[in-house]
Structure 1
Amino acid sequence: MSEIDPAADARTAPVAVWKMLSELKGDALADWRVAEVANRPSPEERGIDLPFPLGWFAVGYSDELPKGEARPIRYFGRELVMWRGEDGQVRVLDAYCRHLGAHMGHGGRVVGDLLECPFHAWRYDGSGVVREIPYARAIPPQVKRPCPQQWAVEEANGFIWTWYHPHGVAPKWALDHYPEASDPAWTPYQRHEWFVYSPLQSMAENGVDNAHFQFVHGTASFPDAKIAWDGHRRTGVVAARMGTPAGEVDGRIVNGQNGPGQAYTRFEGISETLLVAAITPVDRDRVHARFAFTQPRAQAEGPGAGLARALIRDICKQFDQDKVIWDRQAYLPNAIICDGDGPIIRFRRYYDQFYAERTDEPTVRSA
């Protein structure tokens, strides 16, 4: 009887990442997903001190920010504050008050649609214009102008999104809207989150790295994906035979990327599932990843509920396995690629368009 090659056996954990995760269950796994990675090399040493890519990025779930509430957030290497006015609209500003630098996300309050600084009660609108100073006869002319960095904000698919561009350029494309996210026949989101100590580009590149699926995730073969590139969009379709307790079924995995920060994956075959992936850079070597899953209630709450839950667990497990690599991976701009790796070089050319520092002239006024 011939020996089975462990690297080709989907039942065998072929690399160390599986062993590292094998003891993490329940709360311990959830804590690990968001824990600081201690003693990691600097972004410069790892070559991951890349610019932040431009695009739409999630800064929170819509239902986590009620009317009249302000909260601090940190993304794109900046301290920010977001609040929802009494009109229901969300606004985002750089967090430091233009008066004496108080952080308005800590102790600031919402008055009508304005944000009030906790230090001297200066009140800001969503463009950063100071509208009221309770103790002053006149508002200084410098703060009657909008802030240099504007943060366009929209809500879609149950998320709050803001547009990031280092030079203050207005949004170049629209957000995608997924009908399943608001369809009462589909479940509320099942939510998972991670902090990954990697640049967003390395994480996104994983999707076209065909060879890693076998050696990190234990698939029996490399996926055969059809990838299309169209401006800021990338789409892919993977057709596969999927094993179930009732035998093999035909399945498809359809994914799309709308710029670097908004992505989706639709799983078809075993259990219909929409994954909304919202991936937002925090610092040069830290990314906040949110996975939001929704499934048809008839499947998720019916006889196929076990399969539906198992699919989500498996997707999250694969992300955990990738995180083990990403957290300490270096970025090699002149990577040596061989046949079978997938279209990594093509992906890097596609992704380069999102680095405005390399393609645009600055347009933001100085503060």
Structure 2
Amino acid sequence: MAEADTPAPGDARTPPVAVWQILEKLRGQDLVDWRLANVEGRASVEERNLDIGFPFGWYAMLPSADLAAGEVKPLRYFAKDLAIWRGEDGEVRMVDAYCRHLGAHLGHGGKVSGNLLECPFHAWRYDGTEGNVKEIPYTKIIPPQVKRKCIRTWHIVEANRWIWAWYHPHDIEPLFEPAHIPECSDPDWTDYEVFEWNVWGNIQNMAENGVDVAHFKYIHGTSNVPLGELRWSEWGRGADVRAKMGTPWGEVDGCISYDTMGPGQSWTRFTGISETLLIACITPVDLDHVHTRFCFTQPRSQAEGERAGLAKAIIRDICKQYDQDKVIWDRQKFEPEPVICAGDGPIADFRKFYSRYYVEGEGVPASRKRD
């Protein structure tokens, strides 16, 4: 590059390394495919210290509209195969996927019988609340091993047009409830615009991003990012980041306000240029695989009015930043004892807070447990 073309230090236009090496030429369907594709040649779970288990909390399974009454679907989350269905009463139920009889997957070919889930192999019918077998159509005697609870059932709540499941490694009762966000059911706000990623990494590394101030310059190309006013509660955290923003209508006071309830539920309100609500559904699939779905909704008056272009631009920019982070996350190692320096942000405080989502014996790589 000629000297005259060299960007000045701190120039916000400096292309972040992750962008110009991997993302620069991705457009349209190529970008969508990249967001979901497997990452070949990544290091093992053990090499990357990702064998730390999953933090407990509420996690998104599917949009409520994607599961009709009488419908059953297979899922895989938390390194488990699962079967989820909606009974004739409209209630959603979910169980571990494998039939106790001869091991058929209940979510592939199973069907709903009233409110029970029927195995596709021999029609054993499971109760999704009690976790036992209620009916076997070809016998009058149900074996005692399955007459009592014999399969894991999951706590389910529907909120914000999504189905949420409570995960805890010891299968205890929920310690808190998912948040209900009023805009999600407000007819004056748009239907969700949904974007999807597979991240080949660790949910804790991803969560730390929000307090890692230094990376914004080098990954996202921003000249500086204020940390904002941090909030910490028993099970949630958040921050308000306020800044002046330039628009075609002049400078306005803007705010990015994010909150979480546990590790799996996050929502962010963007105000100033165009009001936007992001519902982030972030769910672990396996120890090195996290499924992310971003659901955006905006006031119809803005999204469909004269500022519709700005409203869409905000969504594009948020997704672009997530793309940039994904490049790092896909191959990132979890460092249980990171070397932190001034300017990194409150990473140590964040880790102390986040540790509450792990039970004793989890949250530490298996290699260190043997030390």
Q: 1:113 aligns with which of 91, 112, 115?
A: 115
CA RMSD of aligned residues (A): 1.7
- For 1:333, give the aligned amino acid: P
Q: Which secondary structure state, in structure 1, belongs to the residue aligned with residue 170 of structure 2?
A: coil
Partner of 1:137: 140
1:47 matched to 2:49? The reply is yes
Question: Aligned pair in 2 of structure 1 residues 151, 6: CA closer, same or farther (>3 Å)?
Answer: farther
| Whole-angstrom distance in 2 between the partners of 1:6 and 1:310 | 26
1:319 matched to 2:334? The reply is no
Q: 1:261 aligns with which of 246, 264, 267?
A: 264
Partner of 1:335: 338
Q: Which secondary structure state, in structure 2, belongs to the residue aligned with residue 45 of structure 1?
A: coil
- For 1:72, give the aligned amino acid: P
Partner of 2:77: 75
Q: Which secondary structure state, in structure 2, belongs to the residue aligned with residue 243 of structure 1?
A: strand
| Whole-angstrom distance in 2 between the partners of 1:7 and 1:248 | 25
Identity of paired residues, percent?
A: 59
1:180 matched to 2:183? The reply is yes
Q: Which secondary structure state, in structure 2, belongs to the residue aligned with residue 358 of structure 1?
A: coil
1:250 matched to 2:253? The reply is yes
Q: What does 1:208-227 correspond to in 2, within 5 Å?
A: 208-227=211-230
| Whole-angstrom distance in 2 between the partners of 1:7 and 1:246 | 30
Q: CA deviation at 1:222?
A: 2.7
When structure 1 is superposed on structure 2, of 18-27 and 259-268 the one drifting more is 18-27
Partner of 1:363: none
Q: CA deviation at 1:6?
A: 4.5
Q: Which secondary structure state, in structure 1, belongs to the residue aligned with residue 309 of structure 2?
A: helix
**Structure 1 residues 93-142: Cα deviation after superposition (integer angstroms, max 9, x where no partner):** 00000111100111001111111000000001113211100001111111
Do the aligned residues in 2 keep the contact of 1:92 with 1:151 (CA within 8 Å)?
yes
Partner of 1:14: 16
Q: Which secondary structure state, in structure 2, belongs to the residue aligned with residue 8 of structure 1?
A: coil
When structure 1 is superposed on structure 2, of 84-93 and 141-150 the one drifting more is 141-150
Q: CA deviation at 1:10?
A: 1.6
Do the aligned residues in 2 keep the contact of 1:236 with 1:254 (CA within 8 Å)?
yes
Q: Which secondary structure state, in structure 1, belongs to the residue aligned with residue 40 of structure 2?
A: coil
Q: CA deviation at 1:160?
A: 0.4
Partner of 2:39: 37
Q: What does 1:84-95 correspond to in 2, within 5 Å?
A: 84-95=86-97
Do the aligned residues in 1 keep the contact of 2:71 with 2:112 (CA within 8 Å)?
yes
Q: Which secondary structure state, in structure 1, belongs to the residue aligned with residue 252 of structure 2?
A: strand
Do the aligned residues in 1 keep the contact of 2:269 with 2:276 (CA within 8 Å)?
yes
TM-score for both structures, normalised by structure 1? 0.95
| Whole-angstrom distance in 2 between the partners of 1:301 and 1:93 | 41
Question: Aligned pair in 2 of structure 1 residues 179, 21: CA closer, same or farther (>3 Å)?
Answer: same
- For 2:266, give the aligned amino acid: A
| Whole-angstrom distance in 2 between the partners of 1:6 and 1:313 | 26
| Whole-angstrom distance in 2 between the partners of 1:64 and 1:147 | 28
Q: 2:243 aligns with which of 221, 240, 243?
A: 240
Q: CA deviation at 1:16?
A: 3.5
Q: CA deviation at 1:276?
A: 0.4
| Whole-angstrom distance in 1 between the partners of 2:66 and 2:361 | 36
**Structure 1 residues 29-70: Cα deviation after superposition (integer angstroms, max 9, x where no partner):** 111111111111101001111111100000111111111111
| Whole-angstrom distance in 2 between the partners of 1:264 and 1:147 | 36
Partner of 1:272: 275
| Whole-angstrom distance in 2 between the partners of 1:358 and 1:351 | 15
**Structure 1 residues 212-250: Cα deviation after superposition (integer angstroms, max 9, x where no partner):** 111110112132311121111101010112222333321
Partner of 2:172: 169
When structure 1 is superposed on structure 2, of 140-149 and 114-123 the one drifting more is 140-149
Do the aligned residues in 1 keep the contact of 2:69 with 2:90 (CA within 8 Å)?
yes
Q: CA deviation at 1:17?
A: 2.9
Do the aligned residues in 1 keep the contact of 2:82 with 2:97 (CA within 8 Å)?
yes
Q: CA deviation at 1:20?
A: 1.1
Gaps of 5+ in 2: 364-371
Q: 2:306 aligns with which of 280, 303, 306?
A: 303
Do the aligned residues in 1 keep the contact of 2:18 with 2:327 (CA within 8 Å)?
no
Question: Aligned pair in 2 of structure 1 residues 6, 29: CA closer, same or farther (>3 Å)?
Answer: farther
Partner of 2:196: 193
| Whole-angstrom distance in 2 between the partners of 1:332 and 1:204 | 14
| Whole-angstrom distance in 2 between the partners of 1:14 and 1:289 | 23
Q: Which secondary structure state, in structure 1, belongs to the residue aligned with residue 164 of structure 2?
A: strand
Partner of 1:364: none
Q: CA deviation at 1:7?
A: 5.1
- For 2:16, give the aligned amino acid: P
Q: Which secondary structure state, in structure 1, belongs to the residue aligned with residue 99 of structure 2?
A: coil
Question: Aligned pair in 2 of structure 1 residues 311, 22: CA closer, same or farther (>3 Å)?
Answer: same
Do the aligned residues in 1 keep the contact of 2:57 with 2:263 (CA within 8 Å)?
yes
Counting matched residue pairs gives 360
| Whole-angstrom distance in 1 between the partners of 2:73 and 2:362 | 33
